Amino acid sequence: MLHLIGISSQALFGQLLIGLINGSFYALLSLGLAVIFGMLNIVNFAHGAFYMMGAFCSYFLLQYAGLNYWWALVLSPLAVGVFGMIMQRFLLQRLAALDPIYGLLLTFGLALIIQGLFRQHYGASGLPYPIPAQLTGARNLGFMILPNYRAWVILASLTICLATWYAIERTKLGAYLRAATENPTMVQAFGINVPRMITLTYGFGVALAAFAGVMAAPIYNVSPQMGAELIIVVFAVVVIGGMGSIMGSIVTGFALGIVEGLTKVFYPEASNTIVFVVMAIVLLIRPSGLFGRSA
């Protein structure tokens, strides 16, 4: 049926797959933004830089320590998360009482510094990172060929997203977190160390970005600017979904990845702008976002 409108199923499913991959990254990044926004009430502009640091971290681990992809998958988010926590403790915390705009400006400045330093040392062009040996190759599904690594990326990010949702919405720790989002003073009065919780939450959101970076390393090259443009699309995703809901960011992330993939098949000229067009439409119809409570 598809060939009637001049599109091969190979092309369609191929682009759908790429869409799902992009969607995985959108979901992981917007999830991290939502978690951080919930607790700290700031938009983390440095999120793209942390994503890039995650990718670079795995590159360093391989080059200088000989630690492979699977080590990087654990160690990079940890390292970048700790870096994020230090930043939060010493810089962001000073802005806690101020207008959230200052948090945005500070993280923007930090992103400029981090990306600039990496560009200074490693140049603008990308560094290659190999696909782990266990995940090379592809399997034929009949209607399309599915590279193993890409299947892994989708599965892994879906798992992490759902685990995060479960941890926040269904566990006791998550209940503390949600309570502290609603009323930090009250939760503090119950003897819970809210400032530490805020730091850990920031670290966790940053670690999610770094995790996405590690998974992106073998697909795209490791490059200083890899997160700079991506973060703007993720902002649009966040505006579309609204940051009020964890599940909302996950669903919106994947859905927009797929929409982008489909646009590449049917109207490739618009594939760069489609997310922003969707954003405009959502702003017209549901200004608070698909899953958002009114701001």
Partner 1 sequence: MTHPHSTVPNRSPNDNNARAARQEFTAFVLMTVLLCAAPLVAYPVFVMKALCFALFACAFNLLVGYVGLLSFGHAMFLGSAGYVSAHAAKVWGLPPELAILAGTASATLLGLGVGLLAIRRQGIYFSMTTLAFAQMVYFLALELPFTHGEDGIQAVPRGKFLGFFDLTNEMNLYIFVLAIFLGAFLFIRRIINSPFGEVLKAIRENERRAISLGYKVDQYKIMAFVLSAALAGLAGATKDIVFQLASLTDVHFAASGEVVLMTLLGGMGTLFGPVVGAFVIVATENYFAEVGDWVSIIQGVIFVICVLAFRKGVVGVIAEKLGWSL
Can you tell me which of 70, 74, 116, 175 binds partner 1, judged by CB under 8 A? 116
Can you tell me which of 2, 11, 18, 91 binds partner 1, judged by CB under 8 A? 91
Intra-chain end-to-end CA distance of the chain, in Å: 45
Residue closer to partner 1 (CB basis): 46 or 214: 46
97 binds partner 1 (CB under 8 A): no
Using CB under 8 A as the criterion, what x/- string covers residues 45-84 for binding partner 1?
A: ----------------------------------------
Can you tell me which of 108, 152, 165, 220 binds partner 1, judged by CB under 8 A? 108
39 binds partner 1 (CB under 8 A): no
* Smallest gap from residue 41 Cβ to partner 1 (A): 8
- Which residue type occupies 170? R
* Smallest gap from residue 284 Cβ to partner 1 (A): 7
Residue closer to partner 1 (CB basis): 101 or 162: 101
- Looking only at residues 224 through 283 of this chain, which bind partner 1 when binding is defined by CB under 8 A? 229, 232-233, 235-236, 238-239, 269, 272-273, 275-277, 279-280, 283
Number of other CB atoms surrounding residue 247 within 10 Å? 17
Q: How far apart are CA 273 and CA 99, in angstroms?
A: 31
* Smallest gap from residue 124 Cβ to partner 1 (A): 9
290 binds partner 1 (CB under 8 A): no
127 binds partner 1 (CB under 8 A): no
86 binds partner 1 (CB under 8 A): no
* Smallest gap from residue 116 Cβ to partner 1 (A): 4
* Smallest gap from residue 6 Cβ to partner 1 (A): 22
Tokens for 54?
């995650």
Residue closer to partner 1 (CB basis): 88 or 149: 88
Scanning 16-24, 100-108, 153-161, 167-175 for contacts with partner 1 by CB under 8 A, the matching segment is: 100-108
Decide the pairing of beta strands 145-147 and 138-140: antiparallel
Q: Which residues have C-beta within 8 Å of that of residue 74, sequence separation ≥ 6? A: none
Q: Judge contact between 244 and 109, C-beta under 8 A.
A: no
Query: Which residues contribute to the site for partner 1 (CB under 8 A)?
Result: 37, 42-43, 91, 94-95, 98-102, 104-106, 108-117, 119-120, 229, 232-233, 235-236, 238-239, 269, 272-273, 275-277, 279-280, 283-284, 287-288, 295
